[in-house]
């Protein structure tokens, strides 16, 4: 039986999952490949922690050169995360003619161009299915069987921590801070949750999806990114009254020679299948000009699902090696020379429907003055709720607009928030109810 030697850098949770999978399903993989995948080297600085998986003696080392300089190792898995030393290790692996599989969305979203170019020059594969949606094989589908389509939209629920928190806030009417605390206790959120709850992780993943779908590289700083930490149960409850659920969506669109790429809390209709993607599950929906809407869902993170995606990529690369070829498909699906620089639409130019929650002193003519300012900016109202008069000083007026330009809405709000009867900054949530 032929042997393909692989090496793993980063023996954390996902790394341990890969070790477990390669052992548990070794025979299954042989039946598909006609070759054996041998995990020849694992590199990690921590040589002592028990990860609950068996490692053959001599495989684990703290010296990355024992892996990167080993000519027998054909494929390197980079599972350490972060920018450095991940970037250096990936570049060294490529320079040594090794194929690379990485789960590192942050690295690719920021240093993708450098890494993809290096892989192209060297003629090796640089695959990253585990970087988006855990085990959901959506990147492979975009590069693969869906590649005859011109995509107009890609959107997704891409961060399990946020989706878990939002699901519990929705089901229990709980406050963000309280749910975050229990999520941390349960291990669903990091001690420093910023990357997740402020939408940065989602934005990293959106960069990759947009690049694959539209053939144009998008960088993190080009993505408008809002997280979920400012969401209040009040908005979730109003959303439901209007027939909506709030999800942290990654939204990519392409039309009129422009790309939109944005991450923010979004109201979607309760009838939208994405509204039923709850807890730590992830989902991605694409709209292609021929395939129409297609949706993928599954576990978006965790040891085992992510290991499935990592080893799936090992198998893809191994099929190339066994066929005697180096690189078969460019990492973003498009030939490197065909990647375009499609301009990003400025956030002010996007068109959306808006949920606006005004906090006002309860007195006559307040509503007509708000509606007047909105009208002056060309924003028309689809529906409205005013909370019952109460003994409190401030009441809420909630307005759902028809489609409007973001810049017009921002200008109107700037003016309204300066009016004397406004008691708090107006809350804005975008609505997407026209999504395929």
Q: For its own copies, what does the binding mask look like between residues 248 and 287, x meaning CB under 8 A? A: -------------------------x--x-----------
Q: Which is nearer to its own copies, 230 or 270 (CB)?
A: 270
8 A C-beta contact, residue 228 and residue 166: yes
Stretch that binds its own copies, among 42-50, 136-144, 373-381, 405-413 (CB under 8 A): 136-144
CA dist., res. 373 & res. 356, Å (int): 13
Does 145 participate in binding its own copies (rule CB under 8 A)?
yes
Residue 308 near its own copies by CB under 8 A: yes
Taking the C-alpha atoms of residue 318 and residue 132, their distance in angstroms, rounded to an integer, is 21
Total residues binding its own copies (CB under 8 A): 62
Count of CA atoms in the C-beta half-sphere (13 A) of 377: 23
What DSSP character marks residue 150?
P
d(CA 253, CA 269): 19
The reply on whether position 292 binds its own copies by CB under 8 A is: yes
Q: Which of 17, 55, 6, 9 is nearest to 309 (CA)?
A: 17
Q: Which is nearer to its own copies, 218 or 309 (CB)?
A: 309
Position 149 contacts its own copies (CB under 8 A): yes
Q: Does 147 bind its own copies (CB under 8 A)?
A: yes
Under the criterion CB under 8 A, does residue 291 sit at the interface with its own copies?
Answer: yes
d(CA 183, CA 194): 13
Query: Which range, of 184-192, 202-210, 307-315, 414-422, touches its own copies by CB under 8 A?
Result: 307-315
3-state secondary structure of 219: coil
Residues 314-343 that bind its own copies (CB under 8 A): 314-316, 319-320, 323-325, 328-330, 333-335, 338
Q: Rounded to an integer, what distance in angstroms lies between the CA atom of residue 304 and that of residue 315?
A: 16
C-beta of 70 vs 336, nearer to its own copies = 336
Q: How many CA atoms lie within 13 A of 119 on its CB side?
A: 31
The helix/strand/coil state of 418 is: coil
Q: Is residue 129 a contact point for its own copies (CB under 8 A)?
A: yes
Pairing of the two strands 35-43 and 2-9: parallel
Nearer to its own copies, 15 or 193 (CB): 15
Q: How far is the CB of 269 from its own copies (least distance, A)?
A: 12
Q: State how far the Cα of 80 lies from the Cα of 275, in Å rounded to an integer.
A: 32
Q: Is there binding between residue 299 and its own copies (CB under 8 A)?
A: yes
Binding of its own copies by 293 (CB under 8 A): yes
Catalytic choice (40, 205, 345, 353)? 205
Question: Whose Cβ is closer to its own copies: residue 229's or residue 320's?
Answer: 320
Strand order in the sheet with 99-102: 60-61, 35-43, 2-9, 73-78, 99-102, 126-127
Our CB check for its own copies shows the closer of 120 and 371 to be 120
Q: Toward its own copies, which CB reaches closer, 99 or 299? A: 299
Task: For the segment 16-55, give every residue that binds its own copies (CB under 8 A).
Answer: 17, 21, 24-25, 28-34
Sole binder of its own copies in the list 2, 150, 181, 425 (CB under 8 A): 150
What does the radius of gyration of the chain's CA atoms come to, in whole angstroms?
Answer: 24
Structure tokens, 48 = 């002592």
| 298 φ/ψ sector (left φ>0, alpha ψ -120 to 50, else beta) | left
CA distance 268 to 270: 6
Task: Pick the closer one to its own copies by CB: 81 or 137.
Answer: 137
Please give the Cα distance from 70 to 65 (Å, whole number).
8
Residue 329: CB minimum distance to its own copies, A: 6
CB 126 within 8 A of CB 102: yes
Assess contact for 150 and 127: CB atoms under 8 A.
no
Is 425 among the residues known to form the active site? no
Q: Which of 152, 182, 184, 304 lies at the binding interface for its own copies (CB under 8 A)?
A: 304
- Min dist CB 11 to its own copies, Å, is 17
Interface with its own copies (CB under 8 A), residue from 7, 15, 112, 215: 215
Active site residues per annotation: 205
Residues that bind its own copies in the complex, under the rule CB under 8 A = 17, 21, 24-25, 28-34, 129, 135-137, 140-141, 144-150, 215, 273, 276, 288-299, 304-305, 307-309, 311-316, 319-320, 323-325, 328-330, 333-335, 338
């Amino acid at each position: 039986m032929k042997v393909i030697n692989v090496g793993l850098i980063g023996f954390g949770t996902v790394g341990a999952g890969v070790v477990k999978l390669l052992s548990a399903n070794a025979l299954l993989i042989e039946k598909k490949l006609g070759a054996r995948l041998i995990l020849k080297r694992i590199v990690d600085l921590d040589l002592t922690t028990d990860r609950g998986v068996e490692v053959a003696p001599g495989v684990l080392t703290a010296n990355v050169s024992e892996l990167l300089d080993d000519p027998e190792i054909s494929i390197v898995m980079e599972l350490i995360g972060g920018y450095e030393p991940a970037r250096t290790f990936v570049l060294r692996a490529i320079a040594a003619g090794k194929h690379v599989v990485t789960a590192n969305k942050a690295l690719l979203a920021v240093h993708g161009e450098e890494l993809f170019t290096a892989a192209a020059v060297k003629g090796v594969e640089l695959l990253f299915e585990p970087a988006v949606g855990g085990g959901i094989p959506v990147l492979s589908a975009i590069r693969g069987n869906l590649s005859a389509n011109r995509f107009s939209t890609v959107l997704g629920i891409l961060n399990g921590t946020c989706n878990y928190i939002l699901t519990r806030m929705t089901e229990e009417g709980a406050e963000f801070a309280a749910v975050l605390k229990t999520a941390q206790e349960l291990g669903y959120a990091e001690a420093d949750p910023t990357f997740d709850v402020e939408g940065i992780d989602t934005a990293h993943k959106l960069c990759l999806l947009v690049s694959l779908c539209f053939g144009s590289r998008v960088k993190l700083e080009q993505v408008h990114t809002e997280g979920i930490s400012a969401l209040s149960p009040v908005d979730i409850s109003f959303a439901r009254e209007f027939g909506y659920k709030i999800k942290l969506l990654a939204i990519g669109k392409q039309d009129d020679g422009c790309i939109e790429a944005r991450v923010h809390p979004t109201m979607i209709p309760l009838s939208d299948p994405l509204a039923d993607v709850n807890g730590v599950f992830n989902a991605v929906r694409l709209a292609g000009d021929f395939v129409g809407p297609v949706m993928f869902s599954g576990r978006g993170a965790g040891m085992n699902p992510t290991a499935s995606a990592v080893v799936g990529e090992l198998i893809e690369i191994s099929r190339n090696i066994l066929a005697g070829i180096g690189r078969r498909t460019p990492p973003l699906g498009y030939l490197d020379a065909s990647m375009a620089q499609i301009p990003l639409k400025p956030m002010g130019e996007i068109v959306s429907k808006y949920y606006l929650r005004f906090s006002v002193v309860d007195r006559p003519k307040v509503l007509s003055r708000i509606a007047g300012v909105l009208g002056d900016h060309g924003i028309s109202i689809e529906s409205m709720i005013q909370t019952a008069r109460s003994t409190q000083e401030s009441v809420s007026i909630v307005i759902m607009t028809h489609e409007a330009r973001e810049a017009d809405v921002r200008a109107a709000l700037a003016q309204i928030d300066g009016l004397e009867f406004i008691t708090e900054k107006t809350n804005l949530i975008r609505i997407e109810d026209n999504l395929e």
